[in-house]
Amino acid sequence: MTEYCYQLEKYGLFYRNQTDHRHRCLRLLDASWVIGEPDAGLKNHFRQGHIPGALHFDLDKVTPKNKESLINFPLPSGAEFRDALEPYGIDNDTHVVVYDSVHPRNSLRAWYLFRLFGHTSVSVLDGGLGQWQAEGNPVTNITINPYKQPVLKFDHDLKPFQIKFNSDLLVEFEEMEDIAKTQSAQIIDVRVPESFQKAHIPGAINIPFSMLFTSNGTFKSQTELKDMMLNNGLHLNKRIVAYCNGGLMACGLVVAGSLAGADSLAMYNGSWFEWSRRRLNSTEDTGGEKCCNSK
C-alpha cells in the first residue's frame, strides 16, 4: 500500500499505518504560503514557529509569474522545479514530508508538485502544524535559509534530482473540454456549494474541499473517504479529474482519492479560473442536483 499521510510523534516519524521508516533519508518541508504576499509565509508563519528541523518551502519559487496567463497558478517546468529543490538537499532517494500552518491547500499543492515531477516518496503531514501542536509536540523559531546556508547532511551522497514527469496526474484545458463533452472521466468540483450551484463544468459532481477533513483538520479515515465517494456515485476504478478555483484545493481531492483507493486521479490545473474565461460564452450546467452527499 502506498502511504500518503504522515503522523509524527515526538521522537520519530511514522506513517499513518505506523510502519517504521525512520531509517529513510527524510526532508521535512514547511509549505506555509500566503497568496499574493511574497515572503509572508516565511516571515509571518514559519519564523514564528515550525517543527524542529523543517525547512521553509517557498511555493512562490515554483509558481511562474505570468500576468497574461489564463491559469491562476501556472506549473513550473521540470527544470524550474529541479532548480528550486537544489538548495534543500533533496534527491530521488529522499522521503519528503510537507506540512503548513496557513491552509492545507499549500502542503497539498507541494505534495502534488513532487508527485507530478515523478517523486513518489512524498507525504503530507496529516493535520499540519496545528495538529502537531495540539498533540503537545515542540516547535522552534530557529531557522535555516536553504538558499543562504548549507542544509543538514544525509548519510549518503546526494545525486542530481531526476525529473520523471507524470502526465497522468495533469489535465490541460483541451483535454478537459473533451472530458466534459464525452464524460470519459468523472469530474469532481471541490469548490463550495454556492459557487458550484452558480455554474460548473458540465457533468461535475460537487464534493467540497472541507468535506475531506475532520473537525481537527486531519483527513477523514480511508473508510469514510471511500464511503463518501461511493455515496456520490463515483467509481474508484474509473478515472477521476478534480478541479477547484485555481488549482490548489483540487490537489486535496487527489490525495483523498489516493487514500480511498482510487485507481486513476488527475487535477485540472487551470480549474475554474481558466475554464470560466475560455468558455465564457458557453452554457454550463447549473443547479445543485449534484452537490455532495456527505454520508
Question: What CATH number should be reported for the domain holding residue 76?
Answer: 3.40.250.10
Same domain, 111 and 208: no
Cell numbers at residue 227, please? 464511503
Same domain, 122 and 66: yes
3-state secondary structure of 254: helix
For β-strands 12-15 and 5-9, DSSP reports them as: antiparallel
Is it the case that residue 118 has pLDDT exceeding 60?
yes
Catalytic residue selected from 5, 244, 251, 292: 244
Task: Round to whole Å and give the CA distance between 81 and 72.
Answer: 18
Structure confidence at residue 293 (pLDDT):
64
Is it the case that residue 139 has pLDDT exceeding 90?
yes
Task: Using CB atoms within 10 Å of the CB of residue 283, give its burial: 0 to 12 exposed, 13 to 18 middle, 19+ buried.
Answer: exposed
In a domain, 289, yes or no: no
pLDDT classification of 26: cutoffs 50, 70, 90: confident
In a domain, 155, yes or no: no
Is it the case that residue 254 has pLDDT exceeding 80?
yes
Q: How much is the average pLDDT of 77-97? A: 91
Same domain, 182 and 130: no
Structure confidence at residue 262 (pLDDT):
96
In percent, the amount of the chain with pLDDT more than 70 equals 82
In a domain, 288, yes or no: no
Same domain, 247 and 177: yes
187: enclosing H helix or E strand: strand 186-189
| Better-scored residue on pLDDT, 75 or 38 | 75
In a domain, 294, yes or no: no
Among 121, 95, 97, 118, which Cα is nearest to 108's?
97
Is it the case that residue 56 has pLDDT exceeding 70?
yes
Structure confidence at residue 294 (pLDDT):
60
| Better-scored residue on pLDDT, 5 or 223 | 223
In a domain, 156, yes or no: no
Is it the case that residue 45 has pLDDT exceeding 50?
yes
In a domain, 293, yes or no: no
Same domain, 12 and 128: yes
| Better-scored residue on pLDDT, 292 or 234 | 234
Please count the structural domains in the chain: 2
Structural domain range at position 113: 5-134
Is it the case that residue 1 has pLDDT exceeding 90?
no
Instruction: Report the range of poorest mean pLDDT among 82-91, 196-205, 207-216.
Output: 82-91
Supply the mean pLDDT for the chain: 86
Same domain, 124 and 12: yes
In a domain, 287, yes or no: no
Same domain, 16 and 128: yes
83: enclosing H helix or E strand: helix 78-85
Same domain, 9 and 130: yes
- 282 within 8 A of 108, measured Cβ to Cβ: no
Angle in degrees, CA 213, 216, 220, rounded to 5: 30
- 241 within 8 A of 176, measured Cβ to Cβ: yes
Same domain, 37 and 110: yes
| Per-residue DSSP letter, 278 | H
Is it the case that residue 212 has pLDDT exceeding 60?
yes
- 218 within 8 A of 131, measured Cβ to Cβ: yes
Is it the case that residue 194 has pLDDT exceeding 90?
yes
Among 132, 77, 124, which Cα is nearest to 104's?
124
Is it the case that residue 165 has pLDDT exceeding 90?
yes
Same domain, 173 and 110: no
Same domain, 111 and 17: yes
Cell numbers at residue 56, please? 521553509
Structure confidence at residue 117 (pLDDT):
98
Is it the case that residue 176 has pLDDT exceeding 80?
yes
| Better-scored residue on pLDDT, 95 or 109 | 109
In a domain, 291, yes or no: no
Structure confidence at residue 158 (pLDDT):
74
Task: Please state the pTM of the whole predicted model.
Answer: 0.88
Q: How much is the average pLDDT of 5-28? A: 46
Q: How much is the average pLDDT of 13-34? A: 62
291 flagged as catalytic: no
Cell numbers at residue 279, please? 468558455
Task: Round to whole Å and give the CA distance between 270 and 11.
Answer: 41
pLDDT classification of 38: cutoffs 50, 70, 90: confident
Same domain, 12 and 124: yes
